Structure 1
Amino acid sequence: MTGELALIADIGGTNARFALCDPTATVPELVEPMALRNAEFASLQHAAEHYLAAVGVRPQRAAIALASPVDGDEIRLTNRAWSFNRHELRASLGLEELRLVNDFGAIAHAVPVLAPGERVVLHGQAHELTRGPISVIGPGTGFGVGLLVGSAERGWQVVETEGGHVGFAPLGDEERVLADRVAVRHGRASWERLLSGSGLSIIDAVLRGHDGGPDGQLRDPAEVVAAALDGHDVVSRRALARFCAILGSVAGDVALVHGARTVMIAGGIVPRFLPFLRASAFRERFLDKGRFAAYLEPVSIQVATHPHPGLLGAAVALRA
């Protein structure tokens, strides 16, 4: 590795991931990756200072991916009570350059440099990722949506979006009940409110007969997934199956909006249950678009299995 190391970070609603990289590398290598729990720090600045003290490096350049819009000087995370001023953060960390990108914008930056072993074809054609449009979506603490256009030959361009906050369109009685319960809890039902860790917990609670209101009892989403995969908890399996079906509908909607050639699913949840997702109603719901089912048939649906696509994308964004 040559060149001066830069700081890269991927800040979600639950975890803050940091690493160092040589931004001049064709495919950046992640050096000293570390994940921190956001709940243990009062601010992004404190988390970053903790990481830099641990690795003993004071970089001059940084790129930080954030689960929030990144326009303007004042930044507020969507699913974590952290806010900061970009100029003050740059000064406090002693940086000469600080680049901020949306978290799924960062993942979109990473897509062209994913190795074949860092992505899995879920459905459709297994073509190489050489041209767009490529839709990038994924559930985690929230639900992210990004877009990659262009090609390897002409150059790539990332379009950052807040598509995860689009209104949820339920199909069938069960999903209408879910939409109503989510609206009671949050004021409206969006994709993110169902396609996220907390969304899976709400689906599970409603199917167990809880009201899903502010005082409703919710299980941890990891517990729901584990119980569903174990196979003995019927309600957990129904909850995860419903989650997969809704994800299929949303993925198909995004593909139609973007005119996508590829849909890349990322985030911290889906890689945990790929066989379950493949066997679920995901594909059926993805194609359930009436006259445009044939239009979506050739779309390649892939899942990013790289352990830190947000960090990788932040490094690529810094190089760009």
Structure 2
Amino acid sequence: MADPVLVGDIGGTNVRFAVARRGFAGHPLISDISVMPGDDFETFDAALKTYCDALGEKRPKQALIALAGPVDEDHVKLTNRDWTVDAVRLAGHCGFRRVRLVNDYAAMARAIPELPDSDFRVLRAGHPDQEGRNPILVSGPGTGLGMATLIPAGATGWRVLTGEGGHAAFAPFNAREWALFERLSESHGYVSRELVLSGSGLNAVHKALCEIDGVAWEETGPAEIMERAQQGDRICRDICEIRARGTLYALGDAALMNGTQGGVVITGGVAERLADWLAAPEAISRFLQRGPMSDYMTPIPIRLLLSGEAALVGAAALHFDEVLSA
């Protein structure tokens, strides 16, 4: 039986850790979950040591950490936090036999087959293959905008292809979005999907729309923007619509390019707050309308992931996949 493993999910906002074991039918079981604000720590090493000290004698001998940034030979520079993580340094510092680093969306994607239906909200049912063995796109706006494709391997296995699709160029759809794009181009140069759609770009988008409308800008939190949007404030409503519709526009492009007819799973805290906006017919239409290839999009289901522990489960699944294949 596989030994337990310490797993981590390190995003731009929170640091999550857990201990994982291989349970019934091979599904990972996680326990000892800890969620801590990243701002509480100067370095990732300090966050991990805090968790390990709390575990005491229960600390596993191996760790697999999923981080929001590209992995380069056991090093990760987080995209939205000034942390650099080194697997060899961590192993020595915290007494692990081995530490493995993966992109956070590799873990997020690998979690999808391990999670119950209750962890998802169906935004569009579609008509997926009943065998469930087609590729699945996993992406969505949180602090940043991650993206990965889950690919069937053999009769029951899975592989994950990661990339940096969130940093692809934002594509305006209507006059309002073109005006936003042009204003952001003046202030930022390159306008990525992540800048427009994710939490890290909220202030930039809000400020740009205020400037376009000749309104004084004041920094406003996500919850207040949502509340104002519900009350009919034009700029706040436009922020919600642009982000929801832009997310599905971007994911429709990615689904078409990657052939992910097994479905699209939308993730991230921003996406959860925009759930009703994402489910709106205008947003779904952005996903489906692809000219002569629109029929290709029709079978693809769209689901919103609601589990905050998904990447921990996926990190454990990636570890046990490796152990069993060795």
Q: TM-score by structure 1 length?
A: 0.91
* Separation (CA, whole Å) in 1 of partners of 2:131 and 2:188: 37
Change (3 A) 1:309 1:48: same
Unaligned runs of 5+ in 1: none
Q: Indicate the SS of the match to 2:101.
A: strand
Give the aligned partner of residue 308 of structure 2: 307
Match of 2:140 among 138, 141, 144: 138
Letter in 2 for 1:44: F
2:140 corresponds to 1:168:
no
Could you tell me how far 1:277 is from its partner in structure 2?
Answer: 2.0
What is the percentage of aligned positions where both structures have the same residue?
A: 36
More displaced 10-residue stretch of structure 1: 201-210 or 77-86: 201-210
Distance 1:185 1:41, change over 3 A: farther
Matches within 5 A, 1:247-262: 247-261=247-261, 262=263
Residue by residue, what CA displacement relative to the aligned partner does 1:212-237 show, whole Å, maximum 9, x if unpaired?
Answer: 9xxx6432223323433x43534322
Find the residue that maps to 2:265 and give its secondary structure.
strand
The one-letter amino acid of 1:223's match is E
Q: Distance in 1 between matches of 2:252 and 2:246?
A: 10
State the Cα RMSD in Å: 2.3
- The alignment status of 1:71 with 2:86, answered yes or no, reads no
Listed as ranges, the matches of 1:1-320 within 5 Å are: 4-23=3-22, 26-56=26-56, 57-125=58-126, 127=128, 130-150=132-152, 153-209=155-211, 217-228=218-229, 230-261=230-261, 262-279=263-280, 281-320=282-321
Q: For the residues of structure 1 that align with 2:260 and 2:273, how far apart are their CA atoms?
A: 25
CA contact 1:6–1:23 (8 Å) conserved in 2: no
Q: Within 1, Cα distance between the matches of 2:223 and 2:254?
A: 26
Q: Is the 8 A contact 2:126 2:298 kept in 1?
A: no
User: Structure 2 counterpart of 1:55, which letter?
Assistant: L
Gaps of 5+ in 2: 322-326
User: Structure 2: how far apart are the matches of 1:281 and 1:264?
Assistant: 18
Deviation readout 1:102-145 (Å, 9 max, x if unpaired)? 11111111011111111122113265682121111110110011
CA–CA distance in 1 between the matches of 2:83 and 2:192?
22
Give the structure-2-normalised TM-score.
0.89
Q: Considering fraction of residues, name the structure with more helix.
A: 2
Task: State the aligned residue count.
Answer: 316
CA-to-partner distance for each residue in 1:27-48, whole Å, 9 max, x for gaps? 2222121111111101111001
Once the two structures are TM-superposed, the CA of residue 172 in structure 1 deviates from its matched residue by 1.9
Counterparts of 2:202 and 2:36 in 1: how far apart (Å)? 23
